[in-house]
Amino acid sequence: MAPKPKPAPSQPTPPPALEDLFTTLNRHIQASAFDNVVKLTDQILAIAPDDEDALRCKVVALIKNDHVEDALSAIKSSRKQLDDFHFFKAYCLYRQNKLDEALESLKRQERNDETMLLECQILYRLGKMDACIDIYQKLQNSKVDNMEINSVAALVMAGRSSEVQGMLDSLRVKATSSFELAFNTACSLIARNKYTDAEQLLLSGRRIGQEVLMEDNLADDEIELELSPIAVQLAYVQQLLGRKQDAIEAYTDTIKRDMADESSIAVAVNNLVSLKGPKDVSDSLRKLDRLKDKESQSFRLARGLDVKLSAKEKEAIYANRILLLLHANKIEQARELVSALPDMFPESVIPLLLQAALLVRENKAGRAEEILAQFASKFPEKSKVVHLARAQVAAAAGHPHIAADSLAKISDIQHMPATVATLVSLKERAGDIDGAAAVLDAATKWWSNAMTEDNKLNIIMQEAASFKLRHGKEEEAAQLYEKLVKSQGSVEALVGLVTTVARMDVDKAELYEKQLKALPGLKGIDVDSLERTSGVKHVEAPRVGVSETYEEGKNKTKTKKKRKRKPRYPKGFDPANPGPPPDPERWLPKRERSTFRPKRKDKRAAQVRGSQGAVVRDKHDAGASSNSSNPKSNQGTSKGSGHTAVSEQTKPSSKSSRKKSRN
């Protein structure tokens, strides 16, 4: 038998041509099928490992698919580093909130419009607004879409809201050209305290957004999600305008509906908590718990919020959390969160102020004053608010010397009337009258040389004269009053001058007194004759009137006598021989009377001897024998034992009910 021929070995299927793969790749890119793009690029790279187009398409597809970590791995594992890989790496690091590394990677890339825009985004998130604005100004001549939106946002965050309108005019752009620009411009109006204009612009922006998004065929839920920042900002404007109830309803509606992005919900929760204040602290803490990272034991914002919220917004949330914990007397949790804030916000003074508040809450005001003074001396550029806080803590703790010293170190508010009044009051409390007078003299000198429209010199001089008169410095007070009369000519100053000079020189006071206008209705009164009179004489009233009033008083003293009625006794009762008094406890239940004695239990029933069966048999026999001799005693014993059994059976059921209530 002839042997069977061996089958020919199967030839491996040849790989598809690169041109076909790239054709399919282009089709998937046009369809935004990024998963298929990644698979095809892997096939291409298996054939041509150093193909630049395939490498670039893979990295971009992974970024578009939000697989930022995989995109970074692809860039690092690639044998060939492309020129634009530094840009892609910087963008991936930016998405991971590794901002310093992203900025360092971007410096290796050649500068163009794309790299400058990404650099602006990184600087904005780092809080370096001035550098961000400088780059946007360089890009004004470039044709970059929506550049004015980001420029306005950077100006607002940099505290330069007054420049927004000028920038829009230079770009020839209206604030209502898009709902995003309307939102950012409204934020600039809020920063300039133009709340009504901001509210109108936000309403216009919401209307424009609804029209544009409806044209894009977005669903109602998506439109509401897109416009949620405007809704929250409108509630904030209502809060600033004093319409607190409307703001509370708007915040609550946004939180309950849960139809907003997570950053808008976080802002709504924080503003609602701050609006409610210390009312219902537990509910406010529960609302803030919604923003925390579920995996963290302590309070830390969720990762998405930590990336999206600005540093000021995050700082406000943490600060409100600490204040609520202090109100709730949860000192340990507050201390733990306060200790973590300096690392989160190293450039801010808020962590220091919260630490001082915690120390005051723990009755350590002296330690709070100490750390505030140390910080102010170490960072003088940030010392203004710190000195104010130290003055408040010291004044509340009864340390007026320290409070006055802290206020005196804030040079730019020394001349303000409120500061002057506070300093004078603190120095008076400390017994430093000369120091208080020096404060008033310095303020008077400053306002005398000030060239301002709203000059407060007259107010300061009036208070200084009153202070000096109160502390026995009549000559200095008279000089101040004379200056006031010459400059202002007010009646109050003239009256003060007359009163002051009268203590030293009566003749001179009379000269000043002649400058006072006569009071109406006093022309016919001779003042000299009034002064010569010995006073008002006592004139007796007519006797008739006296007798009449006496008779009236006599009639009033006569009270109407009530007719006494004989008491009615029950039948057979003899009031002459009433007998023993009734029992005062007759209306009380028997258990509550002093004569009540509970029935004794049979102690023999509790004795257990031998096995259980034997006890039952003996007890039954004893009961049968005693039943024939004394049925009443057996009846009482059975009641007592039955009562004991019932009370013992109710114990486990009550424990189980408590467990249910806890679950």
Query: Which CATH number characterizes residue 445's domain?
Result: 1.25.40
Name which residue leads in pLDDT, 277 or 497.
Answer: 277
Name the least confident of 122-136, 217-231, 392-406, 522-536. 522-536
- Burial 263-294, CB ≥16 within 10 A → b, else e: bbbbbbbbbbbbbbeeeebeebbebbeebbee
Q: What confidence tier does 549 reach under pLDDT thresholds 50, 70, 90?
A: very low
Tell which residue, 92, 79, 32, has the closest CA to residue 57: 32
What are the helix and strand counts (H, E) for the chain?
34, 0
Name the least confident of 213-217, 337-341, 369-373, 475-479. 475-479
Look at residue 292 and give its three-state secondary structure: strand
Tell which residue, 80, 77, 111, 78, has the closest CA to residue 90: 111
> Average pLDDT, stretch 370-384?
91
Sign, CA dihedral 410-413-416-418, equals: negative
Q: What percent of the chain is modeled with pLDDT above 90?
A: 35
Does 547 score more than 80 pLDDT? no
> Given this model, what pLDDT does residue 208 score?
94
Q: Are 313 and 339 in contact (CB under 8 A)?
A: no
Radius of gyration from C-alpha coordinates of the chain: 45
Tell which residue, 81, 162, 151, 164, has the closest CA to residue 121: 151
Q: What confidence tier does 274 reach under pLDDT thresholds 50, 70, 90?
A: very high
Q: End of a domain among 260, 281, 316?
A: 260
> Given this model, what pLDDT does residue 54 score?
87
**CA 184, CA 171: separation in Å to the nearest integer?**
16
| Those residues with Cβ within 8 angstroms of residue 108's Cβ, 6 or more apart along the chain or in another chain | 86
Q: End of a domain among 260, 286, 315?
A: 260
Q: Are 29 and 65 in contact (CB under 8 A)?
A: no
**CA 71, CA 34: separation in Å to the nearest integer?**
13
Beta bridge partners of 292: 301
Name the least confident of 14-28, 65-79, 359-373. 14-28
Name which residue leads in pLDDT, 486 or 404.
Answer: 404
Side-chain-side CA neighbours of residue 565 (13 Å):
3
In a domain, 410, yes or no: no
In a domain, 387, yes or no: no
Q: What confidence tier does 619 reach under pLDDT thresholds 50, 70, 90?
A: very low
**CA 176, CA 484: separation in Å to the nearest integer?**
54
**CA 563, CA 442: separation in Å to the nearest integer?**
84
Please write the tens of the pLDDT for every residue from 5-54: 555 555 555 566 778 888 888 888 888 888 998 898 888 888 888 888 88
Give pairs for 68-71: CB < 8 Å, separation 24+: 68/92, 68/95, 68/96, 69/96
Q: Are 406 and 397 in contact (CB under 8 A)?
A: no
Name the least confident of 26-40, 451-465, 502-516, 585-599. 502-516
- Helix (H), strand (E), coil (C) string for 614-637: HHHHHHHHHHHHHHHHCHHHHHHH
Name which residue leads in pLDDT, 28 or 480.
Answer: 28
Q: What confidence tier does 595 reach under pLDDT thresholds 50, 70, 90?
A: confident
> Given this model, what pLDDT does residue 308 score?
86
**CA 314, CA 318: separation in Å to the nearest integer?**
6
> Given this model, what pLDDT does residue 326 score?
94
> Average pLDDT, stretch 294-305?
87
Q: What confidence tier does 639 reach under pLDDT thresholds 50, 70, 90?
A: very low
Q: End of a domain among 492, 515, 538?
A: 515
Q: Tell me how far apart the terminal alpha carbons of the chain are, to the nearest angstrom.
A: 85
Does 527 score more than 80 pLDDT? no
Q: List, as one string, the DSSP characters of 20-47.
A: HHHHHHHHHHHTT-HHHHHHHHHHHHHH
In a domain, 390, yes or no: no
Does 66 score more than 80 pLDDT? yes
Q: Which residue is listed with tokens 């309070």?
A: 299
Q: Are 254 and 264 in contact (CB under 8 A)?
A: yes
In a domain, 15, yes or no: no
In a domain, 21, yes or no: no
> Given this model, what pLDDT does residue 425 score?
92
Work out the burial of residue 306: count CB atoms within 10 Å of its CB; fewer than 13 is exposed, 13-18 middle, 19 or more buried.
middle
Does 540 score more than 70 pLDDT? no
Name which residue leads in pLDDT, 618 or 386.
Answer: 386
Q: Are 66 and 39 in contact (CB under 8 A)?
A: no
Name which residue leads in pLDDT, 1 or 245.
Answer: 245
> Average pLDDT, stretch 388-408?
93
Q: Which residue is listed with tokens 């949860």?
A: 330
| Those residues with Cβ within 8 angstroms of residue 287's Cβ, 6 or more apart along the chain or in another chain | 255, 269, 272, 273
Give the DSSP H or E segment for 480. Answer: helix 474-487
> Average pLDDT, stretch 341-368?
93
Both tokens of residue 106?
């971007």
Q: What is the dihedral of CA 612, 613, 619, 623, to 10 degrees?
A: 150
Q: What confidence tier does 523 reach under pLDDT thresholds 50, 70, 90?
A: low
Please write the tens of the pLDDT for every residue from 74-131: 888 887 777 778 899 999 999 888 889 999 988 888 888 888 999 999 998 888 888 9
Q: Which residue is listed with tokens 């860039």?
A: 75
Give the DSSP H or E segment for 416. Answer: none
In a domain, 465, yes or no: yes
Give the count of domains, the chain.
2
CA angle (189 as vertex; 188, 191 as ends), nearest 5: 65
Please write the tens of the pLDDT for every residue from 143-181: 777 888 989 999 999 889 999 999 899 888 899 999 999
Name which residue leads in pLDDT, 609 or 168.
Answer: 168
What is the extent of the structural domain holding 444? 431-515
Does 490 score more than 90 pLDDT? no
Q: Are 168 and 175 in contact (CB under 8 A)?
A: yes
Q: Which residue is listed with tokens 């502390």?
A: 471
Q: Are 326 and 357 in contact (CB under 8 A)?
A: yes
Q: Are 397 and 366 in contact (CB under 8 A)?
A: yes
Both tokens of residue 147?
């550049």
Query: Which CATH number characterizes residue 241's domain?
Result: 1.25.40.10
**CA 171, CA 167: separation in Å to the nearest integer?**
6
Q: What average pLDDT does the structure give for the chain?
A: 80
In a domain, 44, yes or no: no
Does 408 score more than 80 pLDDT? yes
In a domain, 43, yes or no: no
- Helix (H), strand (E), coil (C) string for 227-268: CHHHHHHHHHHHHHCCCHHHHHHHHHHHHHHCCCCHHHHHHH
Q: What confidence tier does 544 reach under pLDDT thresholds 50, 70, 90?
A: very low
CA angle (448 as vertex; 447, 449 as ends), nearest 5: 90
> Given this model, what pLDDT does residue 510 score?
64
> Given this model, what pLDDT does residue 405 score?
93
> Given this model, what pLDDT does residue 536 score?
58
> Given this model, what pLDDT does residue 658 score?
33
**CA 522, CA 393: separation in Å to the nearest integer?**
54
> Given this model, what pLDDT does residue 74 score?
87
Q: What percent of the chain is modeled with pLDDT above 70?
A: 78
Q: List, as one string, the DSSP characters of 348-378.
A: -SHHHHHHHHHHHHTT-HHHHHHHHHHHHHH
Does 643 score more than 50 pLDDT? no
> Given this model, what pLDDT does residue 584 score?
81
> Average pLDDT, stretch 451-471?
81
Q: List, as one string, the DSSP characters of 121-169.
A: HHHHHHT-HHHHHHHHHHTTTS--TTHHHHHHHHHHHTT-GGGHHHHHH
**CA 537, CA 458: separation in Å to the nearest integer?**
47
> Given this model, what pLDDT does residue 628 score?
40
- Burial 201-226, CB ≥16 within 10 A → b, else e: bbeebbebbbeebeeeeeeeeebbbb
> Given this model, what pLDDT does residue 651 score?
35
Q: What confidence tier does 273 reach under pLDDT thresholds 50, 70, 90?
A: very high
> Given this model, what pLDDT does residue 283 score?
92
DSSP-derived letter for residue 260 is: S
Q: Are 218 and 206 in contact (CB under 8 A)?
A: no
DSSP-derived letter for residue 301 is: B
